[in-house]
Amino acid sequence: MKEKVEAALNKVRPALMADGGNVELVDVGADGVVKVKLTGACGGCPMSQLTLKMGIERILKKEVPEVKEVVAL
């Protein structure tokens, strides 16, 4: 599942990089919880939670149905 999640994140990265940020995969749990770290401009952005839930989590759930939740560390 980790490879599928990484492939899905690669689809999100260009949009994040356009704003000076990025996302780093930390862990994919057997329970379907994906842990990521927002880096660059995304790390301190006040909109990062919205980006995480409405952007990254939505796309990951669509691409990898086993994903239940995405959390930022």
Non-local (6+) Cβ contacts of 35 within 8 A are 25, 26, 27, 28, 29, 70, 71, 72, 73
Q: What percent of the chain has a predicted confidence (pLDDT) above 70? A: 100
Taking the domains of the chain in order of start, what are their residue ranges? 2-72
Q: What percent of the chain has a predicted confidence (pLDDT) above 90? A: 86
pLDDT at 45 over 90: no
* CATH 3.50.50.60 for domain 2-72: no
Per-residue pLDDT at 20: 94
Q: How much is the mean pLDDT over the chain?
A: 94
Q: What is the mean predicted confidence (pLDDT) over 38-61?
A: 92
Strands (E), 5-54: 21-28, 33-40
For 16-44, how does the pLDDT look when each residue is reduced to its tens digit (9 = 90+)? Answer: 999 999 999 999 999 999 999 999 998 88
